[in-house]
Amino acid sequence: MIRKCNNSNYQKIINLISREPAFNLFIIADIERYGVSTDFIDLWGDFYNNKLNAVLLRYHANYVIYSNIENYDINGFIDIMESQKEFKVLSGKKEIIDVYKNRINFSKTRDTYFLKLEERNFNYSFIKKNTVKIEKATADDAQDLFELSKKIKEFEIPNSVEDIRKRLEDKFGRTYVIRKDNKIISAASTTAECSFSAMIGGVMTDPSFRKKGYASICITELCKELLDENKTACLFYDNPTAGSIYRKIGFKDIGSWDMCVR
């Protein structure tokens, strides 16, 4: 039976999603910070005999699903998503999302590799070699970051200026940047953070300044700060060149992450 969750279900939700914390980082980060239900967050659970078997999170128009079993109410979750006016993206572990690809009319799907970085694997030589000035972005950089994101053809749904500003103001994420002539030419961000981990995204370099290692510098500085706070770092990618860089930094494959766009 599917029902909408509230904060009284918090521990059952955590018990379920903690089975694979890296794959559930978005869910954990959202409910740690905001709770189970707000005007922009909803969380539904599939319960059987009072045991929680699966969860569906809505964060604005983005949805994430998780279950550690195959036998849960998939059709019920589909009905919920398709009944929502705001339903743009469905994401999750590949093995879970594959079930939905032929049951919901998506315009585009993206299959990516999912990687995790732990302190013991971090390649500190990237930090030692760095001679480029790198800065931590503030909310005042939101417009500049937005302008850079518009130059990145791989970014299908760029964040708005207000989204970027709010994330930096609320410290729901952090961004390191490199500037040239007072303009940001490269950046790497965390798109979600919880008490023990962070998701890295928004890795971008102005096309005119690529192949200089700037993105690697931003990522390694970001990772060092996270590791110093005893947080692991996660990311997903589908670009082989980027994947090679991530592995040199010390990221290890742990699975696949899929995103489906309506």
List pLDDT tens digits, range 214-243. 999 999 999 999 999 999 999 999 988 889
Banded pLDDT at 31 (limits 50, 70, 90): very high
Q: Residues 198-202: what's their mean pLDDT? A: 95
**pLDDT value, residue 130:** 67
175: β partners? 189
198: β partners? 193, 233
**pLDDT value, residue 41:** 95
- The CATH architecture annotation of domain 115-261 reads 3-Layer(aba) Sandwich (3.40)
Q: Residues 253-258: what's their mean pLDDT? A: 98
**pLDDT value, residue 10:** 95
**pLDDT value, residue 125:** 81
**pLDDT value, residue 127:** 72
Banded pLDDT at 158 (limits 50, 70, 90): low
User: Looking at the domain that runs over 2-105, which CATH code has it been given?
Assistant: 3.40.630
Q: Residues 24-40: what's their mean pLDDT? A: 94
pLDDT above 80: residue 135 = yes
**pLDDT value, residue 167:** 87
- What does the radius of gyration of the chain's CA atoms come to, in whole angstroms? 19
- Placement of tokens 């319960």 in the chain: 47
pLDDT above 80: residue 126 = no
Residues 65, 97 contacting (CB under 8 angstroms): yes
Banded pLDDT at 128 (limits 50, 70, 90): low
How far apart CA 98 and CA 237 sit, in angstroms, is 18
pLDDT per residue as tens digits for the range 9-22: 999 999 999 999 99
Q: Please state the φ and ψ torsions of residue 152, each to the nearest 5 degrees.
A: -95, 105
How far apart CA 41 and CA 56 sit, in angstroms, is 11
What is the residue-averaged pLDDT of the chain? 93
pLDDT above 70: residue 193 = yes
Domain(s) of CATH 3.40.630.30: residues in the chain:
115-261
Nearest in space to 190 (alpha carbons), one of 168, 173, 169, 171: 173
pLDDT above 70: residue 30 = yes
pLDDT above 80: residue 157 = no
